[in-house]
Amino acid sequence: MGILIFEDIISWKMARILVLDIYTIFEKSNDFAFKNQIQRSSVSVMNNIADGFERKTNNEFRQFLCRAKGSIAEVRSMLYLAKDLKKINENTFNKLYKQTIEI
């Protein structure tokens, strides 16, 4: 039997963990524009997976997975910026980067 609800999709579960990590790490950031962008792009990953699954067609699901893949690339790009601007250290960068690749 296949996956019946989007909550069973492993990449959605992993994206949810990433969102919680991003929110926690940047919670106290005073750089509102940066914080807002990385949070929104991380949320977009999990939401596009869920949205695409609920469309109930393979073509639409693929389309939304492509959007999720674009959003995860955006998160990864923002992580480089966060590291370059010293908003996160190397260990935090590596942990989050690994999550984005696994998703």
User: Cβ neighbours of residue 44 under 8 Å, at least 6 residues apart?
Assistant: 67, 68, 71, 74
Q: What is the pTM of this model?
A: 0.94
33 burial level (CB within 10 Å; 0-12, 13-18, 19+)? exposed
**pLDDT value at position 51?**
97
The rounded distance, in Å, linking the Cα atoms of 78 and 37 is 8
pLDDT of the chain, 103 residues: tens digit per residue: 689 999 999 999 999 999 999 999 999 999 999 999 999 999 999 999 999 999 989 999 999 999 999 999 999 999 999 999 999 999 999 999 999 999 9
The rounded distance, in Å, linking the Cα atoms of 30 and 85 is 13
Q: What is the pLDDT of residues 25-41, one digit of tens each?
A: 999 999 999 999 999 99
What torsion, rounded to 10 degrees, do the Cα atoms 84, 86, 89, 93 define?
A: -40
Q: Domains in the chain, please, with CATH?
A: 7-102 (1.20.1440.60)
**pLDDT value at position 2?**
86
